[in-house]
Amino acid sequence: MRAAVALVLFVACVHRQPAAPPAAPAVAAAVREAAAPPVAIVHATIWTADPRGTRLQDATLLMRDGRIAALGKVEVPAGALVVDAGGRVVTPGLIDAHSHLGVYASPEVPAHADGNEATSPNTAEVNAEHSFWPQDPGLTRALAAGVTSLLVLPGSANLIGGRGFAVKNRPARSAAAMRFPGAPYVLKMACGENPKRVYGKKAGPSTRMGNIAQVRAAFGAAQDYWRKWDAFEKKGRAKGDLPPPRDLRLETLAEVLRGRILVQNHCYRADEMLLMLDVAAEYGFQIRAFHHALEAYKIADVLARRGVAVATWADWWGFKLEAFDGIPENLALVQAAGGRPVVHSDSAIGVQRLNQAAAQGLASGRAMGLPLTEDDALRWVTLNPAWVLGVDRQTGSLEVGKMADVVLWSHQPLSVYALPDKVFVDGHLAYDRAGVARPSDFELGLLPAEGTP
């Protein structure tokens, strides 16, 4: 039901509204949160990850109705659940800006290979939401690692791989129910080796110039499509004309041109990122973030000036030639240039250590003398990825009014020994290390009881 409402409103928004994000889920979220009692985490060391890097000592964080109701010296209301942090660190929930959880689910068998619609280099019409399996055991592992939101993307086989969507990491029975309320859709694009490898022996592209030509052709067609629909909305509809034929592929690209879908571009090399910026300028769209972007440090000044985020790893590199120039200081150099670095995972294993990856990036930057703070590094896995998802007004930092996505850590979160003790999503205790983790349906009954130590 909720899904149906969301879909209707979204379609309406696509064709009639000016560039506002889809409005549907506010109602849905309210329904979902009504039952949650207020929760107060007391005696906490709060790393807010807000833009000023505010920290609060021996503070209280109050969550009510799925939101952060108060921070600091707070009267704990009667009836609230009280969690004594005993000085432990509290941070915003972590956010992975590049995930294939649910679309490349565990176990990694062919039956679960739902991430790449590798039948055409442009499949803008597909939507990761329609591949997403909410029972992927990887989601439970990510939750136990403090990850409360994820951007689920199609793979990078295609130049234009399709729509991705943001999820809140709470167990649910459908993708729609996990969808991040109010988050815009994104479009996954890819440069470089992958598309030309996948299509080189088919109909192409087989070269980088072929890649770019096909992307330009696709956005050129989208411009025509947009014009036709515009003409229909401005004149034709009133005259009673039939609407132009609907084309899901072109519709997604037209939404990109209208600025309502955020482009997430898999691209490793500096020169290719610059090329893609040229293409984006030619057709009038923005690239929200380059993903992987191992050579971002070579053009950190340009990326900062253009307001393009850099979502990358701390220590993956060298597995293919376009990844050969990756360096551990990439995140730090992007930060130092005034850009927006983001630690992403692209991995069901890596997503479980985003905090450690941020620490690695911080240490590498400090070792070369860059004046970075722990709060900078924390933002690489919270507020900055929230911006990449287009939800930084809703989550990503601990500020009054934002979603109550909160992690209580066993140790300071940049330590290898830090594990989330408790994870709250929308004010609900979604994970408790002291309790029994809720397995996905897939894992129920898999191991016999006598296998337990």
Partner 1 sequence: MTVLAFVLLAAAQPDLAIEHARIHTGDGHKIDDGTLVVRGETILAVGASAEVRVPDGARRVDGRGLWVTPGLVDAEALTGTVEVTQEDSTDDSGLDGRYDAIRAAFSVLDGLNPRSVLIPVTRIEGVTTSVLVPHGGLVSGRQAVVRLAGDSAEAMVVRSPAAIYATASGPGRAAAFGARGGVMLRLRELFDDVRQYARRRQDFERNQMRKVGASRLDLEALIPVVEGKLPFVVEAHRASDLQAVLRFAREQKIRLVISGGEEGWMVGKELAAARVPVIVSALPDLPREFEALGARLDNAALLARAGVQIAISPREHDGPFSRTLRLEAGNAVAHGLPWEEALAAVTRTPAEIFDVGALLGTLAQGRSADLVVWSGDPFEPLTRPRQVFIRGREIPLRSRQSELRDRYRDLRVARPRP
- The residue ranges that bind partner 1 (CB under 8 A) are 106-109, 137-138, 141, 193, 274, 297-302, 315-321, 324-329, 333, 337, 348-349, 352-353, 356-357, 359-360, 362-363, 367-368, 414-419, 442-443, 446-447, 451, 453
Specify the residue, 78 or 111, whose C-beta has the smaller distance to partner 1.
Answer: 111
Instruction: Supply the minimum distance, in Å, between the C-beta of residue 105 and partner 1.
Output: 10
Instruction: Supply the minimum distance, in Å, between the C-beta of residue 50 and partner 1.
Output: 22
Q: Cβ(150)–Cβ(175) under 8 Å?
A: no
Instruction: Supply the minimum distance, in Å, between the C-beta of residue 314 and partner 1.
Output: 8
Instruction: Supply the minimum distance, in Å, between the C-beta of residue 418 and partner 1.
Output: 8
Backbone angles phi, psi at 223, to 5 degrees: -60, -45
Please give the full DSSP string across 181-245, using - where no structure is assigned.
TTPPPEEEEE-THHHHHHHTTTTS--SHHHHHHHHHHHHHHHHHHHHHHHHIIIIIHHHTPPPPP
Instruction: Supply the minimum distance, in Å, between the C-beta of residue 204 and partner 1.
Output: 20
Specify the residue, 325 or 432, whose C-beta has the smaller distance to partner 1.
Answer: 325
| Alpha-carbon gap, residue 141 to 327, rounded angstroms | 28
Specify the residue, 401 or 445, whose C-beta has the smaller distance to partner 1.
Answer: 445
Q: Cβ(280)–Cβ(256) under 8 Å?
A: no
- CA–chain centroid gap for 328, Å, is 22
Instruction: Supply the minimum distance, in Å, between the C-beta of residue 94 and partner 1.
Output: 15
Specify the residue, 307 or 318, whose C-beta has the smaller distance to partner 1.
Answer: 318
Instruction: Supply the minimum distance, in Å, between the C-beta of residue 417 and partner 1.
Output: 5
Q: State both tokens at 308.
A: 């393009």
| Alpha-carbon gap, residue 407 to 196, rounded angstroms | 41
Q: Cβ(351)–Cβ(153) under 8 Å?
A: no
Instruction: Supply the minimum distance, in Å, between the C-beta of residue 318 and partner 1.
Output: 5
Instruction: Supply the minimum distance, in Å, between the C-beta of residue 339 and partner 1.
Output: 11
Half-sphere exposure of 107 (CA within 13 A, CB side): 6
Specify the residue, 401 or 453, whose C-beta has the smaller distance to partner 1.
Answer: 453
Are β-strands 262-267 and 341-343 bridged in parallel, bridged antiparallel, or unpaired?
unpaired
| Alpha-carbon gap, residue 6 to 10, rounded angstroms | 6
The label of the residue with tokens 């630690």 reads: 343
Q: What angle do CA 423, 428, 431 make, to 5 degrees?
A: 35
Those residues with Cβ within 8 angstroms of residue 269's Cβ, 6 or more apart along the chain or in another chain? 191, 192, 294, 295, 322, 325
Specify the residue, 9 or 274, whose C-beta has the smaller distance to partner 1.
Answer: 274
Specify the residue, 32 or 344, whose C-beta has the smaller distance to partner 1.
Answer: 344
Specify the residue, 287 or 403, whose C-beta has the smaller distance to partner 1.
Answer: 287
The label of the residue with tokens 């490793």 reads: 268
Specify the residue, 14 or 145, whose C-beta has the smaller distance to partner 1.
Answer: 145
